[in-house]
Amino acid sequence: MPHQVPRADQEIATLLALLLIFAGAPAAFATDAGLVARGAYLADAADCAACHTDSAHGGRPYAGGRAIATPFGTFYSPNITPDPATGIGRWTAAQFLRALYDGVRADGANLFPVFPYPSFTGITDSDGLAIWAYLRSLPPVHRENRPPDLPFPLSWRPLQSVWKRLFFTPGRFRPTPGRSAAWNRGAYLVTALAHCGECHTPRNLLGAMERSRFLAGTAHGPDGKPVPNITSARETGIGAWGVGDIATLLATGQTPDFDSVGGAMGEVVQSTSRLTEADRRAIAVYLKTVPPIATPEQK
Ligand code: HEC
Ligand code: HEC
C-alpha cells in the first residue's frame, strides 16, 4: 500500500530514526509504523523481493536463494531477513547503507554488481533508512546463503575493487534545478530506486553499464534475452509513445499496440503496478526526455 506522508513529516521521521540508530535503539526504530510502511513502498519500487525470493521453489519472501544467471556465472541472492545467523539480523543501519551505496558487505567484502548497487547508490539517505526499517520489520527466516558459482579468479571478491575503480561512481541522486518536481522524481526512480537502466542499458565485456548508451536496449539482457530500447528514439525506441502510454504499460503491462510485456518486464510491472499513479507518470515524464539513441539491431 502506498503510504503518503507530507514532506515535513518524512524529514522528522528520518531524523527521529537517525537519532534512534545512534542511540542504539533498534527495537523502537523498527516499530515506527509510518517509516516501515514507507520502506515497504520503496522496497517494492526497487523490486528487492523479486531478486531476494526464490519463488520458483516456494522460498519465503526476502530469504534469498533465487538463482540469477549472468554471462560470468550463477549468483544466488542472499537472505536479507533479520535472521541473526543466516540473514542480516546482526547488521547495523550503517552497514546496510554501505551495502546499498558502495556494494560492500558487513564483513567488508565486495559485493558483485549483479546486486544493482551502481544504481542504488543514488537512493536518498531517508529512503535507504526507510527500506532498512522495513527489512527489520520482516519475520526472520533461517536459510543459509549459497556462494555464487563463478570460475576463479572471478569468484575472488577483492578483484571487484578494480572493477569499482574502473566503472563505479558512488553518490546520492541530486535533483536537477530548473526541472519540474515530476521530472526529478522520475529521474530518481529510473536511474536509482527502480534501476530501469540495469536491464535496459547495454553492458561492456566486464559487465558494466555503458553510460553513453543509457536505456538504449541490449540483445543480451537478463537470462540472455533481448531488452528493448526505451530512449525517445522514434523508430527503435519509444519516442512515439506518449506519457500516458508509458504510464499504462507500467500499470498494466499493456503496450500501445495491445501487446503485453512478459518475462523480466512482467515481474517489473508487478511492482510498478503498485506504485502511485503520480510515480508512474513521473517515470514517463522523465523517459520522454531521455535523448534518442537509435539501435539498428533492435526491433
Ligand atoms: C537484480 C537482483 C537484485 C535486486 C533487484 C536486489 N538485490 Fe540485493 N543482492 C542481489 C544479489 C545477487 C546479491 C549478492 C551479490 C554477491 O554475492 O556479491 C545481493 C546482495 C544484497 C545484500 C548483501 C547481503 C549479504 O549478506 O551479503 C543486501 C543487504 C541486499 N542485496 C539488499 C537489497 C535491497 C534492500 C534491495 C532493494 C532495494 C535489493 N537488494 C535488490 C540481487 C538483487
Ligand atoms: C529486470 C530487467 C528489467 C528492468 C529492471 C526493467 N525492464 Fe523494462 N523491459 C525488460 C524486458 C526484458 C522487456 C521486454 C519485454 C517483452 O517484450 O515482453 C522490457 C520492456 C519494457 C518496455 C516496453 C518497450 C517496448 O518497446 O515494447 C518499457 C516501456 C519498459 N520496459 C520500461 C521500463 C521502465 C520504465 C523500467 C524501470 C521502472 C524498466 N523497464 C525496468 C526488462 C526490464
Residue 185 Cα to ligand 2 midpoint, Å, equals 19
**What share of the chain has pLDDT > 70, as a percent?**
89
Mean pLDDT of 118-144: 98
Distance CA 182, CA 173 (A): 15
| The predicted structure's pLDDT at residue 299 | 42
- From residue 222, give the alpha-carbon distance in Å to each of 67, 116, 126: 12, 13, 30
Mean pLDDT of 122-142: 98
Give yes or no for a contact between 81 and 141, defined as CB atoms under 8 angstroms apart.
yes
- Classify the C-alpha dihedral 3-14-132-164 as positive or negative: positive
Question: Which residues contact ligand 1 via a Cβ below 6 A?
Answer: 43, 46-48, 51-52, 68, 75, 77-78, 80, 88, 96, 99, 105, 111-112, 114-116, 120, 131, 148
| The predicted structure's pLDDT at residue 169 | 97
Return the residue whose CA atom lies nearest to atom 7 of ligand 2: 265
In one letter, which amino acid is 147?
Answer: P
Residue 50 Cα to ligand 1 midpoint, Å, equals 10
Q: How confident is the model at residue 15 (pLDDT cuts 50, 70, 90)?
A: low
Instruction: Render the burial of 114-138: b for 16+ CB within 10 Å, e for the rest.
Output: bbbbbbbbbbbebbbbbbbbbbbbb
pLDDT of 22 over the 90 cut: no
Q: What is the mean pLDDT of the chain?
A: 92
Q: How confident is the model at residue 20 (pLDDT cuts 50, 70, 90)?
A: low
Return the residue whose CA atom lies nearest to atom 10 of ligand 1: 115
- From residue 180, give the alpha-carbon distance in Å to each of 173, 176, 286: 15, 9, 10
Q: Give, in degrees to the nearest 5, the angle at Cα 111 between 94 and 114.
A: 120
pLDDT of 38 over the 70 cut: yes
- From residue 7, give the alpha-carbon distance in Å to each of 21, 44, 122, 177, 207: 21, 20, 19, 19, 38
End-to-end CA distance of the chain: 36
Mean pLDDT of 12-35: 61
| The predicted structure's pLDDT at residue 223 | 87
| The predicted structure's pLDDT at residue 28 | 45
Mean pLDDT of 183-204: 98
| The predicted structure's pLDDT at residue 16 | 59
- Note the pLDDT tens digit of each residue in 2-14: 444 445 555 655 6
| The predicted structure's pLDDT at residue 135 | 98
Distance CA 87, CA 105 (A): 12
- Note the pLDDT tens digit of each residue in 218-268: 999 998 899 999 999 999 999 999 999 999 999 999 999 999 999 999 999
Mean pLDDT of 135-157: 96
Mean pLDDT of 187-209: 97
| The predicted structure's pLDDT at residue 296 | 72
| The predicted structure's pLDDT at residue 32 | 86
pLDDT of 52 over the 90 cut: yes
Distance CA 210, CA 204 (A): 6
Distance CA 291, CA 239 (A): 10
pLDDT of 298 over the 80 cut: no
Pocket test for ligand 2, best of 51, 77, 232, 268 (most atoms within 8 A of CB): 268
- Note the pLDDT tens digit of each residue in 278-293: 999 999 999 999 999 9
Residue 120 Cα to ligand 1 midpoint, Å, equals 10
**What share of the chain has pLDDT > 90, as a percent?**
86
For residue 113, the ligand closest to its alpha carbon is: 1
Cβ neighbours around 294 below 10 Å, total:
14
- Note the pLDDT tens digit of each residue in 103-116: 999 999 999 999 99
| The predicted structure's pLDDT at residue 78 | 98
Q: Give, in degrees to the nearest 5, the angle at Cα 89 between 26 and 24.
A: 25
Instruction: Render the burial of 159-192: b for 16+ CB within 10 Å, e for the rest.
Output: ebeebbeebbeeeebeeeeeeeebbbbbbbbbbb
Return the residue whose CA atom lies nearest to atom 20 of ligand 1: 115
Residue 170 CB less than 6 A away from ligand 2: no
Pocket test for ligand 1, best of 38, 75, 77 (most atoms within 8 A of CB): 77
Distance CA 173, CA 83 (A): 31
Mean pLDDT of 141-162: 95
For residue 256, the ligand closest to its alpha carbon is: 2
Nearest atom in ligand 2 to the alpha carbon of residue 287 is: 35
| The predicted structure's pLDDT at residue 136 | 97
Distance CA 17, CA 94 (A): 12
| The predicted structure's pLDDT at residue 240 | 97
